[in-house]
Amino acid sequence: MFDNLTISDIAAVIISILISMGFHEAMHAFVSHWLGDTTAKDEGRLTLNPLKHVDLYTTILLPLLMILIHVPPIFIAKPVPFNPSRVKYGEFGVALIGLAGPLTNLLLAVFASIVFRIIGSDYITISNYLIIFVEINILFFIFNLIPIPPLDGSRVLYAFAPEPLQNVMKKIESFGFISILIIFVLLIQIIWPVISYLDSSIYTLLLG
């Protein structure tokens, strides 16, 4: 999918990342606000403006570099802040906040695939952009559901995990972004085949 990218393709990747990430993070903030916590709104994160959610290194440069060197890209924005003690339904409310972002990306991928099927290949530039947009959102969806703290999937796992596992997850999360890189590198032989299979399956389902 990301082999032999042209300059216009790279531009499409960057635009897709910004739009997809903006919706992803905004939905975290919206659901958090809906569940009673105003932290994200108070800090200006309840917005679709991607510039409010961008981390130059982990959101743009890192995934773009990984794509260019043909390494599976990972996409990480600035985490949307929330106060768990102010969220309704406790751990399950936090799980809903976590799910909001990835599910939004899946819906964006579905929507873009429908548009692609409607216009077909009559507009090559638009069709190519839609394909890239779908792929970026599929990767956002899959990657963020990996249950490694602080990724969104860990919020869901935490809600159902026994206390000893929750304590381990808290310790892992305290390392932030570094924990994702370490675990991802150590377990790449296990994680990547799963990501690749899911990515291929969803892509084929949506675009054929």
- C-alpha span between 185 and 126 (Å, rounded): 35
pTM of the predicted model as reported, rounded to 2 decimal places: 0.88
Question: Is position 96 within any domain?
Answer: yes
Q: What residue numbers bound the domain in which 119 lies?
A: 7-207
Position 131 in a domain = yes
Q: Which two tokens stand for residue 108?
A: 């964006």
- Rounded CA separation 182/193 (Å): 17
Residue 1: inside a domain, yes or no? no
* Peptide bond preceding 102 in cis form (omega within 30 of 0): no
Residue 155 falls within a domain, yes or no? Answer: yes
Domain contains 16: yes
On whether residue 108 sits in a domain, the answer given is yes
pLDDT of residue 19: 93
Q: Is residue 28 part of a domain?
A: yes
91: in domain: yes
Q: What is the pLDDT along the chain (208 residues), one digit of tens a residue?
A: 566 778 888 889 889 988 999 999 999 999 999 999 999 999 999 999 988 988 878 777 877 787 777 766 676 788 899 999 999 999 999 999 999 999 999 999 999 999 999 987 778 889 999 999 999 999 999 989 999 888 999 999 999 999 999 999 988 888 877 887 788 778 878 888 999 999 999 999 999 8
Residue where the block lists tokens 């768990």: 84
Domain count, the chain: 1
How is residue 71 written in tokens? 């390494």
Farthest CA pair distance, the chain? 56
Assigned token pair, 13: 């990747």
